[in-house]
């Protein structure tokens, strides 16, 4: 069995499109749009730590949103914040970015909005979110759970699933399929590199980009 560190290194050599194609081939949920880096063009890949948020209800205060996941994070993790795609309030901010960066977390993917973009950029902490907004979570959101399965857009993320996010989108690989998805994604990447080489060498686009070739199907004659 491939080690977790090696898996992360091998996935880091791929992009979200190749991994999405591999997920498709295995009838698993493909990549999703709408999760964009709020600064620069980073790529992150790591094992999910999850946070579920919900609307604020007055009462005894619990842990500040996200802090439990930050406390549990290490240098193999991506923090996933589930906030049902809300864009009217921030669910991730600068102090959370700082805390996560100091714990070694690789980045955050938030199904909602974030703020303090300049702070994340200044410390080099990758944040992927639906949008940016200055509005604070205080009095608007609270943490329902941490370390439980959550919904990220159209996909369920279970702690330990692999999350890869780049400037194209985000993909989630179930922990039970890490090696088979990796093998297929590497095949996709290799085929596309070979096709690109042929195009650069003068092969006509329609000849190079045969559907069977892109799909990895060998035609029998």
What is the CATH number for 145?
A: 3.50.30.40
Model confidence, pTM: 0.92
Domain assignment present for 2 = no
Domain assignment present for 76 = yes
The phi-psi region of residue 106 (left if phi > 0; otherwise alpha if psi is between -120 and 50; otherwise beta) is alpha
How would you write the pLDDT of the chain (221 residues) with one tens digit per residue?
678 899 999 999 999 999 999 999 999 999 999 999 999 999 999 999 999 999 999 887 777 899 999 999 999 999 999 999 999 999 999 999 999 999 999 999 999 999 999 999 999 999 999 999 999 999 999 999 999 999 998 899 999 999 999 999 999 999 999 999 999 999 999 988 888 888 888 888 777 777 556 677 554 43
Q: Could you say which of 156, 173, 190 is where a domain stops? A: 173
The pLDDT, as a whole number, for residue 118 is 98
Tokens representing 37 are 């880096």
Give 184-208 as a DSSP string.
HHHHHHHHHHHHHHHHHTT--HHHH
Please tell me whether residues 189 and 121 are part of one structural domain.
no
Please tell me whether residues 42 and 127 are part of one structural domain.
yes
Number of folded domains that form the chain:
2
Please tell me whether residues 185 and 212 are part of one structural domain.
yes
Please tell me whether residues 36 and 64 are part of one structural domain.
yes
CA distance 107 to 110: 10
Domain assignment present for 80 = yes
The pLDDT, as a whole number, for residue 196 is 86
Q: Which domain holds residue 65?
A: 29-173
Please tell me whether residues 136 and 187 are part of one structural domain.
no
Please tell me whether residues 130 and 197 are part of one structural domain.
no
Please tell me whether residues 125 and 187 are part of one structural domain.
no
Share above pLDDT 70 across residues of the chain, in percent, rounded to a whole number: 95
Domain assignment present for 147 = yes
The pLDDT, as a whole number, for residue 220 is 43
Domain assignment present for 4 = no
The pLDDT, as a whole number, for residue 79 is 98
């Amino acid at each position: 069995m491939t080690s977790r560190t090696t898996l992360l290194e091998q996935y880091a050599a791929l992009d979200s499109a190749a991994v999405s194609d591999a997920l498709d081939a295995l009838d698993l949920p493909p990549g999703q749009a709408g999760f964009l880096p709020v600064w620069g063009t980073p790529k992150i890949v790591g094992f999910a730590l999850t946070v579920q948020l919900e609307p604020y209800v007055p009462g005894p205060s619990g842990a500040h949103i996200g802090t439990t996941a930050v406390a549990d994070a290490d240098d193999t993790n991506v923090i996933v914040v589930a906030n049902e795609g809300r864009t009217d309030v921030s669910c991730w901010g600068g102090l959370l970015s700082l805390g996560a960066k100091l714990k070694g977390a690789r980045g955050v993917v938030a199904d909602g909005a974030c703020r303090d973009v300049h702070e994340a950029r200044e410390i080099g902490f990758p944040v992927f979110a639906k949008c940016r907004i200055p509005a604070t979570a205080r009095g608007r959101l609270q943490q329902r759970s941490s370390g439980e399965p959550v919904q990220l857009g159209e996909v369920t993320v279970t702690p330990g699933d692999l999350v890869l996010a780049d400037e194209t989108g985000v993909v989630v690989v179930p922990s039970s399929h890490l090696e088979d998805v990796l093998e297929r994604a590497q095949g996709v990447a290799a085929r596309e590199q070979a096709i690109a080489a042929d195009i650069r060498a003068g092969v006509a686009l329609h000849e190079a980009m045969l559907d069977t070739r892109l799909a990895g199907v060998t035609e029998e004659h």
